[in-house]
Structure 1
Amino acid sequence: MQKFMDILESKLMPIGIKLGNNRYLKAINKSFMIILPLTIFGSMFTLVSSFPVTAWTDWLAETGLATWLALPSKLTIDLISLYTVVALGYAFTKEEGYNGFAGGLTALVSFIIVTPLLQITTNQDVVVTALGFDWLGARGLFVAMIVGCVSSLLFIFFNKKGLTIKMPEGVPPMVTESFSSLIPMFLVGTIFLVIAYLFSLTSYGSLHSLIYTFVATPLQMVGGSFAGMIIFTLALHVLWFFGLHGGNIINSISNPLLLPLALENLAVYQAGGTPQYIYTTAFKNTYQFGGAGMTISLCVLMIFIAKSERFKALGKLALPANIFYINEPVTFGTPLVLNTTLIIPFVLAPLITQIIAYGLTVIGVLPVLIGYQIPWTMPPIISGFIQGGWRVAVYQVFSLVLTFAIYYPFFKVADKQACLEEDAIKAEE
């Protein structure tokens, strides 16, 4: 066992640290955090406008309020790629020490350049050129991430090469910054204009179509699959066992794959359809509640079952935070790091509950989750009801009972060990 742990520590920890510090993954995840208020804002209005009460939705339709309540979601979730590319360009460029605002604008114009325009002929035979919503929502997220990173790299590269306009002393700083970004922005925009033109000559017609066909869809299918769920869950908890923040490391890889699936589910639901992607960020947050290891059950066991004074006190301190998915107090207070006694339930609890939830979703007992972008700290049962109705909320209650059973025998051993340690300390006193 010790040899196996040494191998895991020596092989996995460097990989985990390297992935967690990857400049591209860090920038992408930071961009998601920047636009989080927007996605929550849009999702909340979607929830209000489509709350599953017939009398309520009928009243909204009769009064015309349904149209207005749909606008926030239409102008946030359905334009998520636009917001993401701006936030990504800003975060990436600023992290490298350059003008973040200019980097964000450069990423935005580059993304719009490679996004195909629509030619619409009206009833009056007037041709209108428009930027459609098709590639501005979840379907365009992969291109937004690619363009955001590449445009930022080019913007930084041209700045490093000194391809900037230097203003004389005494010119206001805002004017200086504006002119210093002019040439890099011009060059980056021109490069993406050439890219857009070249893709227009192919059978795909645009960069969006190619990426979505050959990159985004296959990656999302792998990441959003049953196997992807197992791999991400195991990796996250193994990293936590070795003291690394598994959530930060694994989510930086999984979120770019799973968030677009959740947003596509939400878009389908808004259009009156049935969401189809099972494993998404919504699935992970809903069925792995209470943070890594689903340690809410462990906290409750500490309060009501533990004989150790240390565990009783820790449970009372940690449970309130754990309900809101903050489980660092119990993770480091127990500790669960390098704890060979509790590693098995720490991994099995979230793995088993998600496997069962996945299976029940496949056979139709549980619905495919809608994909609302609710705060990640939303307590269980409430989050379940919002994402899938009463059946998901009931399953979360079942999960809580199930994880009690999983943790119980292992916790009894840990509690006995803690009691022996406390007795030894008292005897020395």
Structure 2
Amino acid sequence: MQKFMAILESKLMPIGVKLGNNRYLKAINKSFMLILPLTIFGSMFTLISSFPITAWTDWLAQTGLATWLALPSKLTIDLISIYTVVSLGYAFTKEEGYDGFAGGLTALASFIIVTPLLQITTNQDTVVTAVGFDWLGARGLFVAMFVGCISSLLFIFFNKRGWTIKMPEGVPPMVTQSFSSLIPMFLVGTIFLVIAYLFSLTSYGSLHSLIYTFIAAPLQKVGGSFGGMIVFTLALHVLWFFGLHGGNIVNSISNPFLMPLALENLAVYQAGGVPEHIYTTAFKNTYQFGGAGMTISLCILMIFIAKSERFKTLGKLALPANIFYINEPVTFGTPLVLNTTLVIPFVLSPLIIQVLAYGLTVIGVLPVLIGYQIPWSMPPIISGFIQGGWRVALYQVFSIVLTFAIYYPFFKVCDKQACLEESELKENV
């Protein structure tokens, strides 16, 4: 066992560290965090307007409020690619020490340039040019991430080469800053204009269509599959075992695949359809509650089963935070890092719960989760009810009971050892 762990440590830790420090993944992850308030805002209004009470939805429709309550989601979730490309350009450029605001604007302009325009003829035979919503929502997220990173790299490259307008002393800083970004922004925009033109000559018509067909859709299919769920879950918990923040590392890789799927589910639900994608960010957050390892059950064990004072105290301190998905106190207080006794339940608990949930969803016992963008720290049972109704909330209760049973025999070994250490300490005193 120790030899196997040593091999894993020597092979996985360098990969985990490298991925965790990757500037592209860090920028993408940070961009999602920056726009989280917007997505929560839009999702909350979707929840309000479609709350599963017939009398409520009928009243909203009769009064005309349903139309107004649909606007926040339409102007946030359905425009998620716009917000993502701006926040990504800002985060990437600022992280490299350059003007984040200018980087965000450059990324936004580049994204709009490569987005195909619609030519609409009105009843008065007037032609209106518009940007459609098709590529501004979840379907355009991959292009938003691609354009955000590439435009920022180019913007930084031109700044490093000194291709900027330098104003004389005495000019207000705001004016100086604006003119210093002019040439890099112009060059980046021109490059993406050429790209948009070249793609318009192909059978795909746009960069969006090509990337979605050959990159986004296949990757989402793999990442959102049953196998993807197994790989992401195992990787997250193995990294945590070795002391690396598995959530930050794995989520930065998985979220670009899984978030668009959750947003597509939400869009389908808003349109009155039935969501199709099972494994999404909503699935992961709903069925892996209480932080990595589903340690909420371990905290309950410590409070009610432990005989050692050490674990009783730790459980009481850690459980309140653990309910809100913050499990660092129990992870490092137990500790779970490099703990060969508890590694099996730590890895197996979330894996078993998610495999069961996936299977029950396939056979129709559990519903496909809606994909509301609720706070990641939303307590279990409440999060389950919001995402899928009473059946999902009940499954979360069952999950606590099942993981309690999985942790129990392994924790008893740790607790017995802690009791012996406390007894020896008392005797020495």
TM-score interval for Structure 1 and Structure 2 normalised by the shorter chain: over 0.9
Deviation, 1:405, is 0.7
Whichever residue aligns with residue 328 of structure 1, its letter is: E
Query: Aligned to 2:141, what secondary structure does the other structure show?
Result: helix
Whichever residue aligns with residue 407 of structure 2, its letter is: Y
| Counterpart in the other structure of 1:404 | 404
Query: Aligned to 1:118, what secondary structure does the other structure show?
Result: strand
> 1:166 and 2:161 equivalent?
no
| Counterpart in the other structure of 1:15 | 15
User: What TM-score, normalized by structure 2, do the two folds share?
Assistant: 1.00
| Counterpart in the other structure of 1:320 | 320
Deviation readout 1:189-213 (Å, 9 max, x if unpaired): 0000000000000000000000000
Listed as ranges, the gaps of 5+ residues in structure 1 are none
Deviation readout 1:364-406 (Å, 9 max, x if unpaired): 1101000000000100000000000011001001111111110
Whichever residue aligns with residue 78 of structure 1, its letter is: D
Deviation, 1:427, is 1.3
| Counterpart in the other structure of 2:219 | 219
Whichever residue aligns with residue 309 of structure 2, its letter is: E
CA RMSD of aligned residues (A): 0.5
Deviation, 1:21, is 0.6
**1:214-293 equivalent positions in 2, closer than 5 A:** 214-293=214-293
> 1:44 and 2:44 equivalent?
yes
> 1:95 and 2:89 equivalent?
no
| Counterpart in the other structure of 1:56 | 56
Partners of 1:267 and 1:153 lie apart in 2 by: 32
Query: Aligned to 1:367, what secondary structure does the other structure show?
Result: coil
Whichever residue aligns with residue 391 of structure 1, its letter is: R
Q: Identity over aligned residues, as a percent?
A: 90
The farther-off stretch of 1-10 and 224-233 is: 1-10
The farther-off stretch of 119-128 and 43-52 is: 119-128
Query: Aligned to 1:336, what secondary structure does the other structure show?
Result: coil
**1:324-403 equivalent positions in 2, closer than 5 A:** 324-403=324-403
Deviation, 1:234, is 0.4
| Counterpart in the other structure of 1:140 | 140
Deviation readout 1:145-167 (Å, 9 max, x if unpaired): 00000000000000011110000
Partners of 2:148 and 2:186 lie apart in 1 by: 16
Query: Aligned to 2:311, what secondary structure does the other structure show?
Result: helix
Deviation readout 1:62-91 (Å, 9 max, x if unpaired): 000000000000000000000000000000
| Counterpart in the other structure of 2:29 | 29
Deviation readout 1:229-277 (Å, 9 max, x if unpaired): 0000000000111011110111111111111110111011111111110
Query: Aligned to 1:394, what secondary structure does the other structure show?
Result: helix
Partners of 1:364 and 1:175 lie apart in 2 by: 60
User: What TM-score, normalized by structure 1, do the two folds share?
Assistant: 1.00
Whichever residue aligns with residue 203 of structure 1, its letter is: S
Aligned residues: 429
Deviation readout 1:50-71 (Å, 9 max, x if unpaired): 0011000000000000000000
> 1:189 and 2:182 equivalent?
no
Partners of 2:268 and 2:195 lie apart in 1 by: 31
| Counterpart in the other structure of 2:117 | 117
Partners of 1:133 and 1:151 lie apart in 2 by: 22
Whichever residue aligns with residue 269 of structure 2, its letter is: Y
| Counterpart in the other structure of 1:423 | 423
Deviation, 1:36, is 0.4
| Counterpart in the other structure of 1:156 | 156
Listed as ranges, the gaps of 5+ residues in structure 2 are none
Partners of 2:226 and 2:421 lie apart in 1 by: 42
Deviation, 1:6, is 1.0
Deviation, 1:425, is 1.0
Query: Aligned to 1:265, what secondary structure does the other structure show?
Result: helix
Partners of 1:119 and 1:88 lie apart in 2 by: 29
Deviation, 1:2, is 1.3
